[in-house]
Copies of this chain bind each other. A is one copy, B any other.
Amino acid sequence: MIEPRHLRVLRAVSATGSFSAAARELGCTQPAVSQQMKALESAAGTPLIVRAGREMRLTQAGEVLVRHATGILAGLTAAEEEIAAIAGLRAGRVRLVSFPSGSSTLVPSALAALRAAHPGTRVSLVEAEPPSSAEMLRAGDCDVALAFRYGGPGEEWDDLVERPLLTDRLVGVVPEDHRLARAESVSIAELAEEAWIAGCPRCRTQLVEACGAAGFSPRIDFATDDYPAVIGLVAAGLGVAVLPELALASARVDGVRTLRVAPAVRREIVALTLPDLAQVPAVAATLDELERAAER
């Protein structure tokens, strides 16, 4: 078995023409070089160098091996450098999945900071709602998933690493001329008779649950996961809605009023990843930047 160590020694010996000089170049003692060369010759099955008086020359086999050594060692160092670039965040790719309101608020800020801190990293972004984004993670189709949950921590991603980012609150959205438009806050029950405009499927489920807790079943006239559309529909007087604060942060709110909802309904926004991937530098850096973006 020929080892890279052998090839380094042989190359140094060939370059310097002396065991001692090679040892100095390699930072070891001369007997070490001597032993390596002997081991290499034994592995090769034929002498590699020939000593004629003072000087050394390579045999044909030695020349062959030196010629190969260059390529092999170059390949090895190239591999090491590329890996070091990934480990040192001078390179690396992160496949990020986010839900719509996250990808328009947290994600741009986080990715800008990531790019600034580590210009070599590359991030790809795909949109997906929480139930499927965790599946993409498990299937290996992404590295980080931005997700949210309404309930407690005992949810469907116990096998994933969860990095909490922020707590989002639901706010009520009513037309400017609504009877409650001037109220500071509103309870869900006060909207029992309204027409509703629901958001994404998961938010819709949450809405139905919240209304159920307040003792009624909402009459949902429209449902879309396009939040600007929801706001537009509300502004047009077609109904009311509850939306995550985060969704409002990146939308124009002309023609509507937002109301605090009492009791407050919260959703936890978290970043998910696989346990192993959490150790990957580029993934860890992305999680850090997402957390930092959430603080702003």
Q: Which chain A residues numbered 248 to 281 have a C-beta less than 8 Å away from chain B? A: 274, 276-277, 279-281
A78 to B28, CA, bound (A): 29
| Copies of this chain per assembly | 2
Q: Check if A4 is an interface residue, CB within 8 A of chain B.
A: yes
What does the 1/0 interface line of A275-296 toward B look like (CB < 8 Å)? 0110111100000000000000
What does the 1/0 interface line of A1-36 toward B look like (CB < 8 Å)? 111100000000000000000000000000000000
Do A140 and B65 have beta carbons less than 8 Å apart? no
A280 to B57, CA, bound (A): 14
A12 to B75, CA, bound (A): 19
Q: Check if A153 is an interface residue, CB within 8 A of chain B.
A: no
Known: A50-B277, A72-B76. Contact between A57 and B140, CB under 8 A?
yes
User: Nearest B residue to A140 by beta-carbon distance?
Assistant: B57
Q: Check if A112 is an interface residue, CB within 8 A of chain B.
A: no
Q: Which chain A residues numbered 66 to 85 have a C-beta less than 8 Å away from chain B? A: 68-69, 71-72, 75-76, 78-80, 82-84
Q: Check if A52 is an interface residue, CB within 8 A of chain B.
A: yes
Known: A51-B276, A78-B68, A274-B52. Contact between A83 and B140, CB under 8 A?
no
Q: Which of A39-47, A169-177, A183-191, A198-206 is the contact stretch?
A: A39-47
Q: Which of A86-94, A99-107, A213-221, A237-245 is the contact stretch?
A: A86-94
